[in-house]
Each structure stands twice: as structure tokens, then as C-alpha cells.
Amino acid sequence: MKRIVSGIKPSGTLTLGNYIGAIKRFVELQRSMPDDEFYLFVADLHAITVPQEASLLRQRTKEVAAMYLAAGLDPLRTILFIQSEVKEHAELGYLLQCSTYIGELERMTQFKDKSKKQEAGLSTALFTYPVLMAADIILYDADYVPVGDDQKQHLELTRDIATRFNNRYGDFFVVPEPLIPETGARIMDLQDPEKKMSKSDESDKGYISLFDPLDVIRKKIKSAVTDSIGIVQYDPSSQSGVANLMNIYSVLTDLSFAQIEEKYKGLGYAMFKSDLAELVASEIGALQNRYQHIIQSGELDQILDSGRDIASRVAYKKLEKCKQKIGLGRKRK
Ligand code: ATP
Ligand code: LTN
């Protein structure tokens, strides 16, 4: 039996990028791997690496959990929990910092990008964040970690940290493999297709929120930046905007790029965008309906309580053994 672990930060509204790159994928994996175990958490400790308003953070934490379920995650087969409710994550994060080099963290492109945007008041935790992410994963001996393309480097670091620990203290952590989808691993900003669609972007025109009204979603797709070539074809180097829309189209319909090209041959962008707008609106519309049902049902708290209890038991055992390996505390008899 394999174990699959992943998380999403409640740091802003969930976007179509999160849905396609992570949430939808997770649900598909759950369907295609019926004998395996799924741990999924809301990474609230990661969200506070940048300032968050307390009541909003609490609200978003629940939103993310409910959205996972709305996307079709089976609560009976998923250990769904909130990261900060399992205190072992933070504790293992500290222990792993002792096996991580400053130079490794300085090389993380996400940190470099985020610190460029904000000069003053950068938190230490934003810098050490990938170590906490490593802890989130190896605490559960994850075999696979489904993530978007932007997390690849963090996963490589996780593998290095786990391997280093194993070399130093003897085989102890499973070294995890990333699972990055072939299509949809990096959905780009609709207004600037050179940039990743991001929930923490200042302008909301470039991203589609899973909570946007459906007519706003349609409008955003229709006004997405394209080019003057006018042919629906997959060529990310000269038609990055169209390539991005084709990615979204392909993930939502399962059509290949060649099939999409064929379908819109001689038809131009207006028809293609209009069809895509309907596809996205209908997918998100269904998601929003299920979300409303879940948020109102009161079931969510029970699911999160039970997730927390199961995850805590597993995490406690692993962490105790880890501390023994390192030589912390008194020896267990
Ligand atoms: P931020 O943009 O604020 O850094 P984020 O959305 O990247 O936040 P998370 O919420 O932690 O950060 O991301 C959750 C998951 O969604 C990760 O697996 C990430 O790789 C994936 N993801 C995020 N943005 C995209 C995107 N534009 N395309 C595909 N996958 C994405
Ligand atoms: N760092 C990720 C979110 C995240 C995560 C994890 C993903 C935190 N812990 C563990 C997979 C496994 C992000 O910013 N997208």
C-alpha cells in the first residue's frame, strides 16, 4: 500500500490553477489508486509565513477543506485535517532544520521571487518554509506527493533532507516522489501568460477564483490575453496565452492539443474562448453547488476532527522514533 500526501495553503482565494494543478488531480489519483492511502491537509502554518488576518485565515482554512470535498474527495478514504492541529509538523520542521543548509534554502526560487516582491519585514519562516514542507511529507512516510510544477524544487529539497537524515542516522524516512501532471501543472495568469496564475496576485483579472460568480468567470476567459496570429494551435513559445487556454481546455475535456486544434481549425479565437468560458463556468458552477451543500451540512467539522485524530496518532509515533534516533530526551525502555 502506498501513501499519498499533499497540502494547500489557505493564503488567499483558491484559483483555477490550484484546482487543475492540485485538487482535481488529487481526486483523480484517489479514483485510480483504490488501495492506497491519502493524507491531505490545509497548510495553515504555511499561510502565516506572510501576514494574515486571523478571522479571514480561519474562514479560508475551512473553505479549502470544504473545496477538497466539493471536488469529489472521498472522506472515507482521505485523512483530511488542518496542519496546525497536528503539532508534530512544527516539531519535525525544527528537527529537520538542523539537517538543512542555509545555502540550500537560499537557492529556492519561490523564496527568491517572493522576497524580491517584498523588501522589508520578510519573516524567517518564509525562508525556512520548505523545511516545514519537507516535515509535512516525511512525517507520514509519503511515497507520492501530487503538486503543481512550482513545487518541484521543494520536493527535490525534501528528498535531499530525507536522504541526508537517513545517511546520518540510519534508514528512517521514506524518500518521496513528486507526482506532477503532464498537462495543467502550471496554469498561467490570464493577463500575463508568462507568469503563474497565483492567488496572492494583487490584481484579480489574471486569475479565476473558484468562488467567482459564473458570469465573471466567463468574462475573464473571454478577455484573456492572446495574440494577433489568430490560429488555435499549441505553441507556448510564440502563443503563450492560447497555449495556456488550451491547457485548461485539455484538462477539462480530456481532448489532446491536436484534437483541439482540429476542432477549431479556421474558427479563430472568439468561438474557442466562448466554448472554454462555458466549460470552465460549468465545472466551477458544479463545484460551487457541492461546496455550498458541504459548508452548510456541519459534516465538515466531524471529518476534520477524525482526520486530526488519525493523523496525530501516526505523526506522534513517527516523531517519537525520530527523536530517539537523534538522541533527544531519555532513552525509551
Ligand atoms: P501562491 O500563489 O500564493 O504562492 P499557491 O497557490 O502556489 O500560492 P498553494 O495553495 O500552496 O500555493 O498551492 C497548492 C497547490 O496548487 C500546489 O500543489 C501548487 O503547485 C498548485 N498550484 C498553485 N498554482 C498553480 C498553477 N497556477 N497551476 C497549477 N498548479 C498550481
Ligand atoms: N508549499 C506548498 C503547499 C504545501 C505542500 C506541503 C504541498 C505545504 N506543505 C506538503 C505538498 C506537500 C505550496 O506552497 N504550494
Q: Which domains does the chain have, with CATH numbers?
A: 3-185+298-326 (3.40.50.620), 214-293 (1.10.240.10)
Comparing CA positions, the residue from 297, 280, 295 lying closest to residue 213 is 280
Q: How far is the CA of 68 from the centre of ligand 1 (A)?
A: 14
Q: CA-to-CA distance for 128 and 142, rounded, in angstroms?
A: 21
Atom of ligand 1 minimally distant from the CA of 12: 3
* Arithmetic mean of pLDDT, 75-89: 97
- Does pLDDT of 333 surpass 80? no
Q: CA-to-CA distance for 4 and 34, rounded, in angstroms?
A: 12
Q: Which residue has its alpha carbon closest to ligand 2 atom 2?
A: 8
| Start-end of H helices in the chain | 16-18, 24-32, 44-47, 54-70, 88-97, 102-106, 109-117, 124-138, 152-169, 214-222, 240-253, 257-263, 268-297, 299-326
> pLDDT, tens digit, for every residue of 161-207?
999 999 999 999 999 999 998 887 899 999 999 999 987 677 788 99
Q: CA-to-CA distance for 273 and 270, rounded, in angstroms?
A: 5
Atom of ligand 2 minimally distant from the CA of 150: 15
| Sheet order of strands, 3-8 included | 78-82, 37-42, 3-8, 144-146, 177-179
* Arithmetic mean of pLDDT, 255-267: 96
Mean pLDDT of all residues belonging to the chain: 95
pTM equals: 0.93
Q: How far is the CA of 19 from the centre of ligand 2 (A)?
A: 14
Q: What is the pLDDT of residue 124?
A: 95
> pLDDT, tens digit, for every residue of 103-124?
999 999 999 988 888 778 899 9
Grid coordinates given for 257:
492539443
Residue type, 226: T
> pLDDT, tens digit, for every residue of 207-250?
999 999 999 999 999 999 999 999 999 999 999 999 999 999 99
Ligand 2 pocket test, pick from 48, 79, 147, 156 with the greatest ligand atom count within 8 Å of Cβ, gives: 147
Q: How far is the CA of 124 from the centre of ligand 2 (A)?
A: 17
Task: Verify whether residue 2 is a known catalytic residue.
Answer: no
Q: What is the pLDDT of residue 148?
A: 87
Out of 9, 199, 220, 318, pick the active-site residue.
Answer: 199
Q: CA-to-CA distance for 72 and 25, rounded, in angstroms?
A: 11
Atom of ligand 1 minimally distant from the CA of 207: 27
* Arithmetic mean of pLDDT, 93-110: 97
Q: How many residues does the structure list for the chain?
A: 333
Ligand 1 pocket test, pick from 16, 18, 114, 153 with the greatest ligand atom count within 8 Å of Cβ, gives: 18
Residue 65: pLDDT band with limits 50, 70, 90: very high
Q: How far is the CA of 18 from the centre of ligand 1 (A)?
A: 5
Q: How far is the CA of 91 from the centre of ligand 1 (A)?
A: 25
* Arithmetic mean of pLDDT, 280-285: 98
Q: What is the pLDDT of residue 120?
A: 82
Task: Verify whether residue 114 is a known catalytic residue.
Answer: yes
Beta bridge partners of 145: 178
In the chain, % of residues over pLDDT 90: 88
6 close to 144: Cβ distance less than 8 angstroms: no
First to last CA, the chain: 30
Task: Verify whether residue 318 is a known catalytic residue.
Answer: no
